[in-house]
């Protein structure tokens, strides 16, 4: 019988590895063989399959004891605030994001950065990274560490590699976007992103933490 934690590690490696492989070295070959639509479908199916493997392996793995720290309120407050900031970045990244494969991406890259893009040009990736960090802080169990590290590596290394890919695909438009934005976040600018990312982020945060398997966010104290 396969050890559940070993299966989770394998699933996490598969999830991250296939993302990097299909997004970068294999992408031109797959597009040439399958076309743009076929590539998108294949990418989505592989991503969904490896994510499902991760999920079921995570559920099958006993939570175990945390490897460091504890579950005191101070830790949960820090983790909850990091998650809220992550979801503000995520909500704001869904609109006008030149990194997304959508029509008008080049035009978006030529605009002056606004909203969450004043914080970082990769708000969605940093949202995932902050989510991973929050879970490492609040629940450093073996299974959570494996998943959080996988998501964190995928987000931050993926953002770096995305710059190179977008430079090749979008040329001057992306170079101009890079010149106007930063890879590393400017934390204090999170308070200048406007009201809509905050409304969206708070709504997602309240809903996701309410559905959480453990009491999280404000629901831990309500």
Q: What is the pLDDT of residues 157-196, one digit of tens each?
A: 999 999 998 998 889 999 999 999 999 999 999 999 999 9
* Residue pair 80/217 in contact by the 8 Å Cβ criterion: yes
d(CA 40, CA 56): 24
Tell me how crowded residue 16 is: count the other CB atoms within 10 A of its CB: 21
- The verdict on 171 and 95 lying in the same domain is yes
Contacts of 79 (CB under 8 A, 6+ apart): 134, 135, 137, 138, 216
pLDDT tens, 130-150? 999 999 998 889 999 999 999
What percent of the chain has a predicted confidence (pLDDT) above 70?
97
What total number of domains does the chain contain? 2
**Cα gap 49→18, rounded to integer Å:** 11
- Domain encompassing residue 15: 1-62
pTM: 0.90
Say if residue 93 is in the same domain as residue 49.
no
Longest dimension (CA), the chain: 55
Q: Which of 82, 36, 55 is nearest to 146 (CA)?
A: 55
Could you identify the residue written with the tokens 């992550």?
Answer: 86
Band of residue 70 on the pLDDT scale cut at 50, 70, 90: low
Q: Among residues 42, 62, 82, which one ends one of the domains? A: 62
Confidence of residue 2 (pLDDT cuts 50, 70, 90): confident
């Amino acid at each position: 019988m396969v050890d559940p934690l070993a299966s989770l590690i394998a699933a996490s490696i598969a999830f991250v590895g296939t993302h990097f492989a299909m997004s970068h070295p294999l992408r031109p070959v797959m597009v040439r063989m399958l076309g743009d639509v076929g590539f998108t479908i294949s990418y989505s199916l592989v991503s969904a399959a490896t994510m499902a493997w991760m999920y079921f392996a995570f559920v099958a793995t006993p939570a175990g004891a945390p490897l460091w720290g504890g579950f005191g309120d101070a830790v949960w407050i820090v983790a909850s605030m990091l998650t809220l900031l992550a979801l503000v970045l995520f909500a704001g990244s869904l609109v006008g994001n030149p990194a997304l494969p959508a029509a008008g991406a080049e035009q978006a890259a030529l605009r002056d950065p606004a909203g969450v893009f004043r914080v970082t040009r990769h708000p969605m990736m940093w949202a995932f990274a902050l989510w991973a960090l929050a879970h490492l802080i609040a629940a450093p169990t073996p299974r959570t560490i494996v998943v959080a590290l996988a998501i964190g590596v995928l987000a931050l290394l993926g953002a770096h590699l995305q710059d190179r890919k977008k430079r090749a695909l979008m040329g001057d438009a992306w170079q101009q976007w890079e010149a106007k934005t930063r890879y590393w976040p400017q934390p204090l600018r999170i308070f200048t992103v406007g009201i809509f990312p905050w409304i969206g982020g708070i709504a997602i945060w309240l809903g996701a933490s309410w559905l959480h398997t453990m009491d999280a966010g404000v629901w831990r104290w309500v």
